[in-house]
Amino acid sequence: MQTDGLVDGVDQDLRYYVGKNGYAYTKSNPHVCIHRLIAERVIGRFLRKEEVVHHKDGNPLNNRRANLVVLPNQRAHIREHAMERIRQAGGDPETQKICGTCTRVLGRLYFPRLKTSFDGLGSTCKGCANSRRRGKYKTLWTETRAEGQRQRRAAARGGARC
Ligand SMILES: [Zn+2]
Ligand SMILES: [Zn+2]
Protein backbone atom coordinates (compact mmCIF):
# COMPACT_ATOMS: atom_id res chain seq x y z
CA MET A 1 0.00 0.00 0.00
CA GLN A 2 1.32 3.40 -0.98
CA THR A 3 1.55 5.68 2.01
CA ASP A 4 3.89 8.28 0.51
CA GLY A 5 2.64 11.78 1.22
CA LEU A 6 0.14 10.51 3.75
CA VAL A 7 1.23 12.83 6.53
CA ASP A 8 2.08 15.84 4.38
CA GLY A 9 1.15 19.02 6.20
CA VAL A 10 0.64 17.22 9.50
CA ASP A 11 3.07 16.73 12.38
CA GLN A 12 5.53 13.97 11.56
CA ASP A 13 4.74 12.12 14.80
CA LEU A 14 1.03 11.92 14.00
CA ARG A 15 -0.02 8.30 14.30
CA TYR A 16 -2.57 6.96 11.86
CA TYR A 17 -4.08 3.75 10.53
CA VAL A 18 -5.75 2.93 7.22
CA GLY A 19 -9.41 1.96 7.60
CA LYS A 20 -11.29 -0.70 5.64
CA ASN A 21 -12.67 2.01 3.36
CA GLY A 22 -9.13 2.93 2.23
CA TYR A 23 -8.93 6.21 4.14
CA ALA A 24 -6.43 7.11 6.81
CA TYR A 25 -7.52 8.04 10.31
CA THR A 26 -5.74 9.44 13.34
CA LYS A 27 -5.05 6.89 16.06
CA SER A 28 -5.92 9.30 18.84
CA ASN A 29 -9.52 9.63 19.93
CA PRO A 30 -11.70 10.72 18.26
CA HIS A 31 -10.59 9.01 15.02
CA VAL A 32 -10.49 11.77 12.42
CA CYS A 33 -9.97 11.38 8.67
CA ILE A 34 -6.45 12.59 7.92
CA HIS A 35 -7.51 14.24 4.67
CA ARG A 36 -10.11 16.38 6.48
CA LEU A 37 -7.52 17.34 9.07
CA ILE A 38 -5.06 18.40 6.38
CA ALA A 39 -7.74 20.26 4.40
CA GLU A 40 -8.67 22.20 7.55
CA ARG A 41 -5.07 23.28 8.00
CA VAL A 42 -4.85 24.36 4.37
CA ILE A 43 -8.00 26.51 4.44
CA GLY A 44 -7.38 27.71 8.00
CA ARG A 45 -10.74 26.83 9.53
CA PHE A 46 -12.77 23.79 10.58
CA LEU A 47 -14.74 22.03 7.86
CA ARG A 48 -18.50 22.06 8.07
CA LYS A 49 -20.10 18.62 8.40
CA GLU A 50 -21.60 18.72 4.89
CA GLU A 51 -18.34 19.74 3.22
CA VAL A 52 -16.54 16.93 1.39
CA VAL A 53 -12.82 16.63 0.72
CA HIS A 54 -12.17 15.25 -2.76
CA HIS A 55 -8.91 13.56 -3.84
CA LYS A 56 -8.14 14.84 -7.35
CA ASP A 57 -6.26 11.71 -8.45
CA GLY A 58 -8.76 9.31 -6.87
CA ASN A 59 -6.16 7.94 -4.45
CA PRO A 60 -7.57 8.30 -0.92
CA LEU A 61 -4.06 8.05 0.53
CA ASN A 62 -2.56 10.82 -1.57
CA ASN A 63 -3.18 13.53 0.99
CA ARG A 64 -0.77 16.07 -0.43
CA ARG A 65 -2.27 19.54 -0.29
CA ALA A 66 -2.32 19.85 -4.08
CA ASN A 67 -4.40 16.68 -4.35
CA LEU A 68 -7.16 17.84 -2.00
CA VAL A 69 -10.18 19.95 -2.96
CA VAL A 70 -12.86 21.08 -0.50
CA LEU A 71 -16.35 20.86 -2.01
CA PRO A 72 -19.47 22.37 -0.39
CA ASN A 73 -21.46 19.12 -0.23
CA GLN A 74 -21.82 15.55 -1.51
CA ARG A 75 -23.94 16.74 -4.46
CA ALA A 76 -21.06 18.92 -5.68
CA HIS A 77 -18.75 15.97 -5.07
CA ILE A 78 -20.83 13.64 -7.26
CA ARG A 79 -20.82 16.35 -9.92
CA GLU A 80 -17.03 16.62 -9.70
CA HIS A 81 -16.66 12.87 -10.27
CA ALA A 82 -19.08 12.99 -13.20
CA MET A 83 -17.05 15.81 -14.78
CA GLU A 84 -13.89 13.80 -14.25
CA ARG A 85 -15.41 10.81 -16.06
CA ILE A 86 -16.35 13.05 -19.01
CA ARG A 87 -12.81 14.49 -19.20
CA GLN A 88 -11.34 10.98 -19.08
CA ALA A 89 -13.62 9.93 -21.93
CA GLY A 90 -12.22 12.83 -23.97
CA GLY A 91 -15.28 15.06 -23.63
CA ASP A 92 -15.92 18.59 -22.39
CA PRO A 93 -17.84 18.62 -19.08
CA GLU A 94 -19.18 22.12 -19.81
CA THR A 95 -21.07 21.07 -22.93
CA GLN A 96 -21.17 17.28 -22.88
CA LYS A 97 -22.31 14.34 -20.77
CA ILE A 98 -21.94 10.55 -20.81
CA CYS A 99 -25.08 8.51 -21.45
CA GLY A 100 -25.57 6.00 -18.65
CA THR A 101 -27.07 3.49 -21.07
CA CYS A 102 -25.06 3.58 -24.32
CA THR A 103 -22.00 5.21 -22.57
CA ARG A 104 -21.46 7.60 -25.51
CA VAL A 105 -20.19 11.14 -24.88
CA LEU A 106 -22.92 13.42 -26.24
CA GLY A 107 -23.81 17.12 -26.18
CA ARG A 108 -26.09 18.21 -23.33
CA LEU A 109 -28.87 18.85 -25.89
CA TYR A 110 -29.16 15.09 -26.38
CA PHE A 111 -30.37 14.56 -22.82
CA PRO A 112 -33.85 15.18 -21.38
CA ARG A 113 -34.20 17.84 -18.70
CA LEU A 114 -34.51 16.58 -15.13
CA LYS A 115 -34.67 19.24 -12.42
CA THR A 116 -33.91 16.88 -9.55
CA SER A 117 -30.63 15.70 -11.10
CA PHE A 118 -27.29 17.16 -9.96
CA ASP A 119 -26.68 18.58 -13.44
CA GLY A 120 -30.28 19.26 -14.43
CA LEU A 121 -30.36 16.43 -16.96
CA GLY A 122 -31.48 12.80 -17.04
CA SER A 123 -28.74 10.16 -17.09
CA THR A 124 -29.92 8.46 -20.31
CA CYS A 125 -29.74 10.11 -23.73
CA LYS A 126 -32.92 10.77 -25.72
CA GLY A 127 -31.91 8.17 -28.31
CA CYS A 128 -31.64 5.44 -25.69
CA ALA A 129 -34.88 6.55 -24.05
CA ASN A 130 -36.64 6.17 -27.40
CA SER A 131 -35.06 2.77 -28.06
CA ARG A 132 -36.14 1.68 -24.63
CA ARG A 133 -39.72 2.64 -25.39
CA ARG A 134 -39.54 0.53 -28.53
CA GLY A 135 -38.23 -2.43 -26.52
CA LYS A 136 -34.66 -2.36 -27.78
CA TYR A 137 -31.67 -2.47 -25.45
CA LYS A 138 -33.82 -3.98 -22.75
CA THR A 139 -31.02 -6.04 -21.22
CA LEU A 140 -28.56 -3.17 -21.50
CA TRP A 141 -31.06 -0.87 -19.82
CA THR A 142 -31.64 -3.26 -16.92
CA GLU A 143 -27.92 -3.73 -16.35
CA THR A 144 -27.25 -0.01 -16.50
CA ARG A 145 -30.03 0.74 -14.06
CA ALA A 146 -28.69 -1.86 -11.62
CA GLU A 147 -25.23 -0.30 -11.88
CA GLY A 148 -26.70 3.17 -11.31
CA GLN A 149 -28.47 1.92 -8.19
CA ARG A 150 -25.25 0.38 -6.87
CA GLN A 151 -23.43 3.68 -7.37
CA ARG A 152 -26.18 5.71 -5.71
CA ARG A 153 -26.26 3.33 -2.74
CA ALA A 154 -22.48 3.63 -2.38
CA ALA A 155 -22.75 7.42 -2.52
CA ALA A 156 -25.58 7.42 0.04
CA ARG A 157 -23.54 5.34 2.47
CA GLY A 158 -21.00 8.13 2.31
CA GLY A 159 -18.20 5.95 3.63
CA ALA A 160 -16.29 5.63 0.40
CA ARG A 161 -15.57 9.26 -0.29
CA CYS A 162 -12.49 10.49 -2.02
ZN1 LIG B 1 -27.54 6.67 -24.91
ZN1 LIG C 1 -13.94 12.42 -4.80
Show pLDDT as tens, one digit a residue, over the chain (162 residues): 445 455 565 666 678 888 888 888 888 878 888 899 989 988 999 999 999 999 998 888 888 889 999 999 998 998 899 899 999 999 999 999 999 889 999 999 999 999 888 888 999 999 998 887 777 666 666 666 676 677 667 666 554 455
Say whether pTM exceeds 0.75. Answer: no
User: Is the domain of 96 the same as that of 150?
Assistant: yes
User: Is the domain of 63 the same as that of 30?
Assistant: yes
Asked if the structure places residue 133 within a domain, the reply is yes
User: Is the domain of 60 the same as that of 20?
Assistant: yes
How many angstroms does the Cα of residue 136 sit away from the middle of ligand 2? 34
Q: What is the pLDDT of residues 87-134, one digit of tens each?
A: 999 999 999 999 988 999 999 999 999 988 888 899 999 999 888 777
Cβ contact 125:101 at 8 Å = yes
Asked if the structure places residue 127 within a domain, the reply is yes
Write out the residues surrounding ion ligand 1, Cβ under 5 A. Answer: 99, 101-102, 125, 128
User: Is the domain of 105 the same as that of 134?
Assistant: yes
Phi and psi at 130, nearest 5°, equal -65, -45
Asked if the structure places residue 150 within a domain, the reply is yes
> What is the domain count for the chain?
2
Residue 40 domain boundaries: 16-71
User: Is the domain of 104 the same as that of 147?
Assistant: yes
